[in-house]
């Protein structure tokens, strides 16, 4: 038998079962009275509505999970992010970190520049992260974007800790998915800054500690000399 014939048979059986069920309900209502029947119908209807609502939520979540990223990512404009970070910096001395986001394709420039492709939305946020750095403006900073012009973020940064220290620039494109604002995150760049020791500024900032470190051995030496001379 073909598929259409099977469907026809199942349809006829379903109609017959529904007829028998409806007749049984009518006979039941006649026996128990219409008020009790309405109460039973209300309970059954509420239960059916609850099951239908749960099923609808599950279908919606499944549909959202299967939305291809390209269907909403296509709203982003192809662009380029250029991050300018120095390769080296001095301890305690501030330096600038700049992020440019442009709809134009740019090539890698100097050794202080790193370039990466990003998607541009009408609104974007940028944040500079670095556990070993003091950043003048912490947290994400949001700006309206242009489809034709470059948008810039700038930070003033310094570190009190010498050595190789990591900075990370993060960019979020603010997109709308199924009516909800959803950030699309781009880890634009991770950059190692070599922070060199600044001995002069270190002494100026920590003169008490330096003085104690130098004075205590000297005092001990003088004390031992005087004890030796008295003997």
Q: Where are the domains of the chain?
A: 3-65, 71-203
The string of pLDDT tens digits covering residues 42-90 is 656 666 666 666 766 566 555 544 444 444 444 788 889 999 999 999 9
Q: DSSP letter at 162?
A: -
The string of pLDDT tens digits covering residues 5-43 is 755 676 666 676 666 666 766 676 666 665 565 666 665
Chain-centroid distance of CA 11 in Å reads 51
Name the residue with tokens 């973020």.
153
State the pLDDT at residue 196.
92
The CATH number given to 71-203 is: 2.60.40.10
- What's the pTM? 0.57
């Amino acid at each position: 038998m073909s598929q259409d014939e099977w469907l026809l048979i199942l349809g006829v059986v379903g109609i017959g079962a529904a007829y028998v069920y409806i007749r049984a309900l009518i006979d039941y209502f006649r026996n128990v009275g219409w008020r009790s029947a309405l109460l039973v119908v209300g309970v059954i209807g509420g239960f059916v509505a609850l099951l239908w609502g749960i099923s609808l939520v599950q279908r919606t979540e499944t549909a959202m999970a299967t939305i291809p990223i390209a269907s909403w990512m296509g709203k982003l404009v192809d662009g380029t992010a250029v991050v300018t970070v120095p390769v080296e910096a001095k301890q305690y001395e501030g330096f600038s970190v700049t992020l440019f986001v442009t709809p134009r394709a740019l090539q890698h420039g100097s050794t202080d520049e790193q370039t990466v492709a990003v998607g541009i939305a009408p609104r974007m946020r940028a944040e500079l992260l670095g556990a070993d750095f003091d950043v003048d403006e912490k947290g994400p900073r949001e700006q309206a974007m242009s489809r034709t012009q470059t948008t810039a973020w700038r930070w003033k940064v310094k570190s009190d800790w010498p050595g190789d220290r990591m900075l990370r620039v993060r960019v979020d494109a603010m997109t709308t998915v199924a009516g909800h604002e959803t950030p699309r995150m781009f880890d634009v760049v991770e950059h190692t800054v070599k922070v060199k020791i600044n001995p002069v500024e270190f002494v100026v900032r920590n003169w008490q500690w330096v003085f104690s470190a130098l004075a205590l051995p000297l005092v001990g030496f003088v004390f031992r000399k005087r004890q030796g001379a008295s003997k």
